[in-house]
Homo-oligomer: A and B are copies of this chain.
Amino acid sequence: MFNNIRIVLSHTTHPGNIGAAARAMKTMGLRHLYLINPRHFPDPQADAMAAGADDVLRGAVVCGSIDEALHGVAFTVAMTARLRDISIEVKTPRAAAPLLLQQAAQQQAALLFGTEMSGLTNEEMGKAQVLVNIPANPDFSSLNLAAAVQVMGYELNAAAQNYVPDVPEIRPATHEQMEGLFAHLEKTLLEIGFFTTQNPARMMQRLRRLYARARPEPEEVNILRGILSVTTEYNARLKSRYQEEHPDVRQH
């Protein structure tokens, strides 16, 4: 049931937490662990804390970047300890688990956890379709990494109890297709001079969130990229025409 779900831990500092997370995963029937630039791995402390989940550790995929870890993934849920002022949707574990299960029935899905100290970066969260916050004591909300994995695994199991297969109407684009779109979009906005009065990074975050909500299909990604291509072509035509007409004006 959880075969299409990968647990992705980004830049984990303490190898013991990787082991404890592997144990939490295995108790809940989760098997696929991806590690983005772990500080120490493999490590005896990870083995010790895995306490019988060493098969999960042995099968772990160590990645050099988040894009590598999310390769082939079409639905990503990112964990956040803070309720940020952002326009991407923040759900409870209970609300997110059935959604993740539904998506994972058809395609690869990921559950993304940040570092022990600072969680996920804004850039990393921008790659998710849904954010999840575990409700906690406002004065002491720092769950241990493995404890957060345990809670999410627990909710996935609870959701699996009530799971009813439902063929989704849309088949959303993969992570790579979306990243291709965002790269194309950013390049285009730069070329047309859109960023002159905007903070490019912040604007790209907002646009990522907008498209995360939209969940485009591959064909729609192609349409959007087609628009971008035409935009720059049109822009290039305008520029060259301008240069023809005003050969003495220096172009920016």
Contact = CB atoms under 8 A, between A and B. Distances in A.
A175 interface: no
Nearest to A136: B27
B27 A141 contact: yes
Interface residues of A, number: 30
Contacts of A137: 26-29
Interface in A95-120: none
A144 interface: yes
Interface stretch (A38-46, A147-155, A191-199, A235-243): A147-155
Contacts of A200: none
Nearest to A52: B140
A147 B27 CA distance: 10
Interface in A1-42: 20, 23-24, 26-29
A227 interface: no
Nearest to A93: B154
B94 A140 contact: no
A124 to B, nearest CB: 22
A194 to B, nearest CB: 43
Contact of A140 (B20, B26, B157): B26
A251 interface: no
Nearest to A140: B26
Contacts of A134: 154
B51 A142 contact: yes
Contacts of A29: 136-137
Contact of A135 (B20, B92, B151, B158): B158
A196 B115 CA distance: 63
Contact of A24 (B28, B135, B147): B147
B20 A144 contact: yes
Nearest to A92: B158
Contacts of A154: 93, 134-135, 151, 154
13 contacts: A20-B144, A24-B143, A27-B137, A52-B142, A53-B140, A93-B154, A135-B154, A135-B157, A136-B157, A143-B150, A147-B150, A151-B151, A151-B154
Interface of A: 20, 23-24, 26-29, 51-53, 92-94, 134-137, 140-144, 146-147, 150-151, 154, 157-158, 161
